[in-house]
Amino acid sequence: MAEKLTTETGQPWADNQHSQTAGARGPVLIQDYNLLEKLAHFDRERIPERVVHAKGAGAKGYFLLENDMSKYTKADVFNGNDKKTPVLVRFSQVAGEKGYPDTPRDVRGFSIKFYTQEGNYDIVGNNTPIFFVNDPLKFPDFIHSQKRDPKSNKRTQERQWDFWSHSPESVHQVTYLMGDRGLPASYRTMNGYGSHTFKWVNKEGEQFWVKYHFISDQGVHNISNKLAGELAGRDSDYLQNELYDSIENGDFPSWSVYVQVIPYEEGLKYKWDIFDITKVVSHKDYPLQKVGKFVLDENPTNNFVDIEEAAFSPANMVPGIEPSPDKLLQGRLFSYKDTQRYRLGVNFEDLPSNKPVVSVHNYERDGYMKSDNQGSEDNYEPNGFDGPKEVPEANIHSFEVSGEAGSQDYSHNVDYHTQAGDLYRLFSDEEKDRLIETIQMNLGQVESDEIKKLEIKQFYDADPDYGTRVAKALDMNIDDIK
């Protein structure tokens, strides 16, 4: 039997088809408060979309801990065996707006929220182990280059390649993006990465650097440029729908969770800067260690409440997991929560998808839409009335810093090309052919020869064959560039 139709405040609603009017032909009466409420709510039912990663999809599930990691971290979620933790995962596109097609070439967001017994723990990563920039000051500029031109309102190849060509640190990620993995066949068949280096601390106070890898148990599958274009016209929500339909049909995707564990002092002396997100750490030097797996077995009950209102932040850490000096990570620790305060309001963490499974006790109160105001507990500290007490063992472990304060040109004489070349040389001949074809399709749309030359020079510095082939594909003379 259907539920009774009610207003937002629970009163029975008699007629949802006809406004109250003065006579059959009107006009409408202002006493029809249900009409006014319905229109007023409709006028306000859209919230600001995410500035980045606006278009996405997600699901619920669980993380199963298979190997006790207490040797490296005291985080409860990773201590023990066969421990199940609820998770919420959101996949997304970086650049497009909320209504943008799913399949254009783009980096894909890969965010996981663990509802642990020590509070929420978020890993906010991508389907790539690296990124385009390594300084938070450049992040807004990078995103602006991916968004629409302020004059024409077009997304253009000219703008994004202009930024990349003037940002040599981007060449590794550009190579990754223009390769096969820039077009995943589905969210279920792409890997995820924490991308940054994080710090783990065990109960004895020993510290380790870690990098997260989420390996698709379905295998990695990608699509061609041609098919991606066809899907954009046939089903603009293709990736979202494919994920939803798979879970609805009982085909639950899973990912094996691995970490690279790097001893503290070794990490500081590693041949590459492990705090530079444009770099990877070799699996040969630090092999993947299995932690467990997570499974997505439940679609959203209400997409707005479960997914659109979900707020992820790398600042959501639990005892035993801490930040590293990674500059881009340090900027994200502030920016991600701040954008949610703008998008959802100051009390966004009261919303169902963001609320932890443990009780919350602190001295923050009030503000718009506060649903849990902690009753009569005191709202100041220090106090003599047995208010919430600090937890000293949750304090982070310090790391040593040195040098002079100021704007640092830390990219000076940094090698941004070798790892991009290593990636190129890992590609099969067929993958290289598709990479060059994709760059030709995209960089070939740029009118400025100067932008093309700067970008080709980066490819050439990564690998001479790489740069030479791109130059040939764009009918440019490599001798004038190298």
Q: What is the pLDDT of residue 374?
A: 86
Choosing from 294, 316, 350, the residue where a domain stops is 350
Choosing from 326, 350, 374, the residue where a domain stops is 350
Domain membership flag for residue 273: yes
266-267-268-272 Cα dihedral, nearest 10 degrees:
110
Claim to verify: residue 256 and residue 111 sit in the same structural domain: yes
- pLDDT tens digits, residue range 337-379? 999 999 999 999 999 999 999 988 887 888 888 888 888 888 8
Measured CA to CA in angstroms, residue 236 lies from 77, 99, 317, 438 at distances of: 37, 8, 35, 21
Q: What is the pLDDT of residue 404?
A: 79
- pLDDT tens digits, residue range 280-339? 999 999 999 999 999 999 999 999 999 999 999 999 999 999 999 999 999 999 999 999
DSSP string, 222-265: B--HHHHHHHHHH-TTHHHHHHHHHHHTT---EEEEEEEEEEHH
Look at the chain and count its residues.
482
CB 388 within 8 A of CB 430: no
CB 116 within 8 A of CB 205: no
Can you tell me which residue has the tokens 């859209």? 46
Dihedral sign computed on CA atoms, order 94, 49, 134, 208: negative
3-state secondary structure of 62: strand
Claim to verify: residue 422 and residue 323 sit in the same structural domain: no
Q: What is the pLDDT of residue 110?
A: 98
Measured CA to CA in angstroms, residue 249 lies from 130, 268, 276, 293, 466 at distances of: 34, 47, 41, 21, 44
Residues of the domain holding 424: 418-480
Catalytic site residues? 53, 126
Q: What does the alpha-carbon distance between residue 124 and residue 88 come to, in Å, rounded to a whole number?
A: 12
Of 163, 176, 167, 199, the C-alpha closest to 130 is 176
Claim to verify: residue 310 and residue 437 sit in the same structural domain: no
Phi, psi of 454 (to 5 degrees): -60, -40
Q: What is the pLDDT of residue 126?
A: 98
Q: Spell out, as residue ranges, where the chain has pLDDT lower than 50.
A: none
Q: How many structural domains does the chain have?
A: 2
Claim to verify: residue 458 and residue 317 sit in the same structural domain: no
Claim to verify: residue 455 and residue 321 sit in the same structural domain: no
182 class by beta-carbon count within 10 Å (0-12 exposed, 13-18 middle, 19+ buried)? buried
Claim to verify: residue 217 and residue 304 sit in the same structural domain: yes
Q: What is the pLDDT of residue 119?
A: 93
Claim to verify: residue 422 and residue 343 sit in the same structural domain: no
- CATH label of the domain that carries residue 207: 2.40.180.10
Domain membership flag for residue 276: yes
My answer on whether omega of the bond before 382 falls inside 30° of 0, hence cis, is: yes
Kind and range of the H or E element at 98? none
Q: What is the pLDDT of residue 412?
A: 67
HSE at residue 115, side-chain half, CA atoms within 13 A, is 19
Kind and range of the H or E element at 305? none
Of 94, 179, 64, the C-alpha closest to 432 is 179
Claim to verify: residue 114 and residue 251 sit in the same structural domain: yes
Domain membership flag for residue 392: no
Q: What does the alpha-carbon distance between residue 30 and residue 21 come to, in Å, rounded to a whole number?
A: 9
Choosing from 322, 350, 378, the residue where a domain stops is 350
Q: What is the pLDDT of residue 388?
A: 86
3-state secondary structure of 294: strand
Of 146, 240, 133, the C-alpha closest to 195 is 133
Domain membership flag for residue 393: no
Q: What does the alpha-carbon distance between residue 290 and residue 66 come to, in Å, rounded to a whole number?
A: 8
Query: Quick one: DSSP state of residue 307?
Result: I
My answer on whether omega of the bond before 27 falls inside 30° of 0, hence cis, is: yes
Claim to verify: residue 200 and residue 89 sit in the same structural domain: yes
Claim to verify: residue 96 and residue 191 sit in the same structural domain: yes
Q: What is the pLDDT of residue 120?
A: 95
Q: What does the alpha-carbon distance between residue 339 and residue 122 come to, in Å, rounded to a whole number?
A: 16
Claim to verify: residue 345 and residue 423 sit in the same structural domain: no
Q: What does the alpha-carbon distance between residue 125 and residue 326 come to, in Å, rounded to a whole number?
A: 14
Phi, psi of 86 (to 5 degrees): -65, 145
What residues have CB less than 8 Å from 193, skipping those under 6 apart?
A: 110, 125, 126, 127, 128, 129, 211, 212, 213, 214
Claim to verify: residue 227 and residue 333 sit in the same structural domain: yes
